[in-house]
Structure 1
Amino acid sequence: MRIIIGSKNPTKWKAVQDVFDTYQVDTLNAPSRVSSQPFSDEETREGAINRALQCAESTPGAIGIGLEGGVMYIKDQLYLCNWGALVTEDENIYTASGARIVLPIDIAEQLKAGSELGDIMDQYTRKEEVRENEGAIGIFTNDSISRRNMFVHVVKLLRGQWEYWINK
């Protein structure tokens, strides 16, 4: 079985490799077809589904996986959110969401002004490529959860649903 992940971001494809360790995992640069900074659960989920669909359609017999990070509001607080989608060859779609944490007000203000979280985090931490390493979740949880671990959790939820329904 071949798994195709719709991103070249190492935190995303390594998370898929961790969960599907006995499968061939390939990457495809599949656009999310949503905003570069998704601003709701709906938009973030849609981006994950779009990536997964493109991956599944790219290779006969392959399973497509899309992972998308975004932000969403609960009342007046902006939270980090993430979604994943798994699409089978016959276009069954499984989705799951993971960890959420409140983002600091100054980060939220920059996001509302139009900046992307990855760029903000590089400035905030004075590091490069935070999105490809610990991610905002790693920074704001004092490395208790990395971005890769966050996506591993989502991919486990996807795999579990898929396995449940194929064995039903």
Structure 2
Amino acid sequence: MINLEWLRTFRAVYKTKSLSKAADMLMVSQPTVSQQISALESRMGKKLFERKSKGVIETDVGQMLNTMISGSIEALEGVEHKIIKPDSNLKNILTIGVSPHLYKTTFCQNILSLGEYVHLTFGSKQQLIRDVEEGNLLYAIVPEKQNTYDTYCHHLTAQNVVLVGTPDIDFNE
């Protein structure tokens, strides 16, 4: 399996065209960058860069790899930046369970409007309620009301769709 750090190092070298500049960018030593690029090339069985006296030039395989991974690596770096940024406005993670049918028919268009980072889990009504009771989910969206000792239900729509949560959750929010 390819190490994610190798790909991150590859992207830095690709952007800077230099092992030493990539090392500065990643805050590691130049030999570390060189070792990671060598390990990635060894794992892939292909050269990714041609070493020159004033830096590196990507090979055709290097260009192809960059095209394939650039969006993913930048997305991961964006997540990292958002989480570690001191003034981050990242809100709490909402963990919501919902059946695949309810998600597709009712909520897929509205989930993003929550303005929070939402982690969805799909499952049956019974499993989702059990996950709320066990603390694995903050909420579950199910097709019918089913209060238990450890949960409370709140109607979401005029249709028979309810939000299940523990008694300490403020449903008015």
Q: TM-score, normalised by structure 1?
A: 0.30
- Structure having the higher Rg: 2
Q: 1 or 2, which has the higher strand percentage? A: 1
Q: TM-score, normalised by structure 2?
A: 0.29
